[in-house]
Amino acid sequence: MVVLRFLAACLLVLGLSTGAIHAQVPFTPGSTAAADAETMPELPVPLTTESANALISRLSDSEVRALLLDQLNTQATETQANEGNSTEDFLYHATEGAWQSVVVPMQRLPDLFSAQSRAFSNFYQTIGGGSGLFVLLGYMVIVFGVGAVAEVLFRRLTRNWHVLPPADPENITLRETVQLLTQRLTTQVIAVVIFVLGSRTTGAFILPENLFPTVQLIGIYLIGFPRFMLAIGFFFFAPMNPEYRLLNVTTPIARAFCFHQFWLAFLLGFSNAILIFNANNGVPLGETRLGFWLNLALIVYLIVIFWRYRGGGVSMMRGADPDVTPMEERAAQLYPYANIAIFITVWWVINIVVSYGNFELLASAPHYKTMLLLMFAPAMDTAIRGLVRHLTPAMKGDGPIAERAYRSSKRAYIRIGRVVIFAVVVLSIANFWGMSPTSIAAAGVGARFAANAIEFLIIMSIGYLLYEAASLLINRKLAAEQTASGYFPDEQEVGGDGGGAGGSRLSTVLPLILLVTRAFIVTLFLLLGLSNIGVDTTPLLAGASIVGLAIGFGAQKLVTDVVSGIFFLVDDAFRVGEYVTVDGTMGTVEKISIRSMQLRHHKGPVHTIPYGEIPKITNFSRDWVIMKLRFTVPFDSDPIKIKKIFKKIGQELIEAPEFEGDFLQPFKSQGVLEIDDVGMVIRGKFMAKPGKQFMIRKEIFNRVNKEFAENGIEFARREVRVALPSMDRSELTEEDKQAISAAATQAVQDVVPEDVAAKDNQQ
């Protein structure tokens, strides 16, 4: 007895006082001290060595023995529970335990037939033998007949609702399609409900108590549920009305899917009905393992359907929208095989759950719900794409940029919708299987870790949605600005003359805003997510501060470039697409970043210029441009006549459709500019929008040349006159030829620099 008292004191103080016991000791039925449980005193709080010795000294030997055995049993139970929740235990149940869940039903297969026979025999005796069976059939005819009559009356009252009118698939909208399909689905579902309620109400009045459950099982699971699923199949597949079909499948495939959906629902209903029937007639759920064979039959049926109609599954997942990305095409091709893999995985998960003996989890049929939800994944994806296709705002403006922005917006809306649908599917499946932070913690993972993991996923999902939303809004605004300004980067002529009008001020700044916004969202939500799962982000922030100091002290040039770029953008000194000169470097602004700009010369080279190295910028593309043209004519030409020709050409070009809106001032003569040793130099000028002047100049040259030829006006030609010592000889000597060549060469060298300078001034 002293040893028992000593062991009890040590157990209470050293082992159980740390949390293995509660303030009051519970007793399980059947223990040796169960009879004395009501008289057992409470444990002192706090529990110390002195208080434990004092308590034991007041107890009898039998009470001490009972207390010791109870605490040892409690500790052993908790140890087994902890061991059962270990990783090794899970691996056992996921492999060997699950396999045993497959082997055991096969071993019990002979017992299945005998137990099922016993269930039918018990039911046969309950209803009163053969005569009772005929009575049951008579009652079923009456009960289901009343339900059928009620349904027929309802269908006659709503016969215009469950018949879809003929429609033109090219003109009917998604809203009209869904409205008519929903109307038909509603009437079909209400008709099924009326049948079930009418049968149930009739049965409650006339059926004996021993027959009512069986008739209700048949009415709900074998008649009502399959018809309900068939109505849903008609909603999505419209097998008789292809113009109303929501999923992209052919008519034979649509009819086949509806047919098999009905029989899948019948198999599901039969599975639930037979298990309830057996339980009501003396055969418990786990005795025959009938559920294993029913689940296996369902899985095999699903695999056969998705394998046989895999082409229809691919088409259904791809959808009718021709704008399908390569990723969506690959997902569509993998959809049937992924579903088959999911079905097999779900079946194995069922065996794992059975291995744990957790039949209560399967009582709510989470595996059936999971498979049904995944089977309708294409419908949800098609719904997202259909809603986006019909609800996306109309394209603003014309041109490739507006069209590309419209497609990009649609893709962004689809991605956002898919993220939401994915979250709903994951949360729904987790709810089906009872997954929550509390349940995960009960499985031994840890409540805080489970909660943090879920919160991390939620934070990342919110961050991704904000990332997509910000990108969508900024890209739409950028496309609208580019379209409004008429600047299309993809349509710029490669190797052109340059000098065209650029984009708007906002279209120049928006790419930088998008870059900064994306970086901010990614950084913020990544830090929030890491902090939520327990990662200390203080060193990361400290490291960022150190990097900032390094940039401040060791990279002052970079800071100068960034600050200079900000002021250049604030001053609106240049925009993307404008033709500028930076300290002698010429080119079109092709790209800007935080610290530099890229200029592409009209001959091809790209110059990258940091903002801090820009002394001044000359912009050739802002608002308007004036171009002045020189024409040299002989001395005897009439300037008044030439002025009228220029005026005529200017008026014709303004009225020309190809130059509509390009002129700000028409082409006109400025009179005689100068007289040189060749002839008179007459200058003309015009004002146009930036980027349009070069095409206008080419057309002016062509028309001036044509008009001069028609009016007998020639262009003056430069002549080189060489005085030779003797002009009376009929042949030139070598000295004469060399003198002529030298004079011509000198004349060319005098003219070329002037032409180059004039061209540079025009550029």
Same domain, 167 and 258: yes
Same domain, 514 and 451: yes
Cβ atoms of 209 and 172 within 8 Å: the answer is no
Same domain, 166 and 38: no
Q: What is the overall mean pLDDT for the chain? A: 74
Closest by CA position to 375, among listed 347, 350, 348, 343? 343
pLDDT band at 615 (very low <50, low <70, confident <90, very high): confident
At 342 the pLDDT is 86
176 pLDDT more than 90: no
Eight-state DSSP code of residue 96: I
pLDDT in tens, 208-222: 888 888 888 899 999
Eight-state DSSP code of residue 163: S
Q: Residue 629 domain-assigned? A: yes
Range among 243-252, 312-321, 423-432, 593-602 with highest mean pLDDT value = 243-252
pLDDT band at 316 (very low <50, low <70, confident <90, very high): confident
Q: What is the mean pLDDT of residues 449-456?
A: 64
Task: Tell me the HSE value of 638 on the side-chain side, using a 13 A CA sphere.
Answer: 8
* Residue where the block lists tokens 């005897």: 636
Q: Residue 618 domain-assigned? A: yes
pLDDT band at 55 (very low <50, low <70, confident <90, very high): low
Q: What is the mean pLDDT of residues 625-646?
A: 83
CA dist 589 and 580 (Å) reads 7
* Cα radius of gyration rounded to whole Å, the chain: 45
Q: Residue 725 domain-assigned? A: yes
Q: Per mean pLDDT, which range of 21-30, 83-92, 263-272 is the poorest?
A: 21-30
Give the residue numbers spanning the domain of 438. 392-494+503-535
Burial 551-584 (b: 16+ CB within 10 A, else e): eeeeeeeeeebbebbeebbeeebbbbbbbbebee
At 14 the pLDDT is 37
CA dist 707 and 669 (Å) reads 14
371 pLDDT more than 70: yes
**Domain stop point among 673, 688, 710:** 710
* Number of domains present in the structure of the chain: 7
Q: Residue 356 domain-assigned? A: yes
CA dist 725 and 734 (Å) reads 13
Q: Helix (H, G, I), strand (E, B), or coil: what is residue 672?
A: strand
Q: For residue 635, what are the contacts with CB-CB under 8 A and spacing of at least 6?
A: 675, 679, 680, 716
**Domain stop point among 84, 111, 146:** 84
Q: What is the mean pLDDT of residues 493-520?
A: 64
pLDDT in tens, 91-126: 888 888 888 888 888 888 888 888 888 888 888 888
**Domain stop point among 272, 298, 323:** 272
Eight-state DSSP code of residue 719: -
Closest by CA position to 691, among listed 630, 627, 599, 598? 627
Same domain, 526 and 445: yes
Q: For residue 526, what are the contacts with CB-CB under 8 A and spacing of at least 6?
A: 463
483 pLDDT more than 80: no
Same domain, 67 and 187: no
Same domain, 675 and 706: yes
Residues facing 672 on adjacent strands = 682
At 6 the pLDDT is 37
User: Can you give 125-152 as a three-state secondary structure string?
Assistant: HHCCHHHHHHHHHHHHHHHHHHHHHHHH
Same domain, 319 and 201: no
Q: What is the mean pLDDT of residues 443-458?
A: 59
Q: What is the mean pLDDT of residues 690-696?
A: 76
Question: For the chain, what's the residue count?
Answer: 763
CB atoms near residue 655 (< 10 Å): 10
Same domain, 138 and 252: yes
Q: Which two tokens stand for residue 624?
A: 């308007």
Q: What is the mean pLDDT of residues 183-188?
A: 91
User: Can you give 30-73 as a three-state secondary structure string?
Assistant: CCCCHHHHHHCCCCCCCCCHHHHHHHHHHCCHHHHHHHHHHHHH
Q: For residue 760, what are the contacts with CB-CB under 8 A and spacing of at least 6?
A: none
pLDDT in tens, 708-742: 888 888 887 766 555 556 555 556 666 666 666 66
Same domain, 484 and 423: yes
Pairing of strands 680-688, 663-675: antiparallel
Q: Which two tokens stand for residue 726?
A: 């003797």
At 761 the pLDDT is 43
pLDDT in tens, 695-707: 788 888 888 888 8
Domain of residue 673, CATH code: 3.30.70.100
At 260 the pLDDT is 92
Q: What is the mean pLDDT of residues 288-301?
A: 87
Q: Residue 654 domain-assigned? A: yes
Q: What is the mean pLDDT of residues 543-570?
A: 64
Residue scoring higher pLDDT (442 or 637): 637
pLDDT band at 35 (very low <50, low <70, confident <90, very high): very low
Q: Residue 411 domain-assigned? A: yes
CA dist 622 and 571 (Å) reads 13
Range among 21-35, 180-194, 588-602, 681-695 with highest mean pLDDT value = 180-194
Eight-state DSSP code of residue 611: G
Q: Starting at the earlier edge strand, list the strands of the sheet with 663-675.
A: 625-633, 680-688, 663-675
Same domain, 134 and 225: yes
Q: Per mean pLDDT, which range of 260-274, 432-446, 691-705 is the poorest?
A: 432-446
CA dist 500 and 396 (Å) reads 23
pTM of the full structure: 0.58
CA dist 435 and 456 (Å) reads 16
Same domain, 598 and 641: no
Instruction: Fill in the amino acid letter for 754.
Output: E
Q: Residue 445 domain-assigned? A: yes
At 255 the pLDDT is 93
Residue 94 buriedness (CB in 10 A; 0-12 / 13-18 / 19+): middle
Closest by CA position to 258, among listed 293, 228, 291, 295? 228
Q: Residue 142 domain-assigned? A: yes
Same domain, 155 and 248: yes
Q: Helix (H, G, I), strand (E, B), or coil: what is residue 159?
A: coil
Pairing of strands 585-592, 596-600: antiparallel
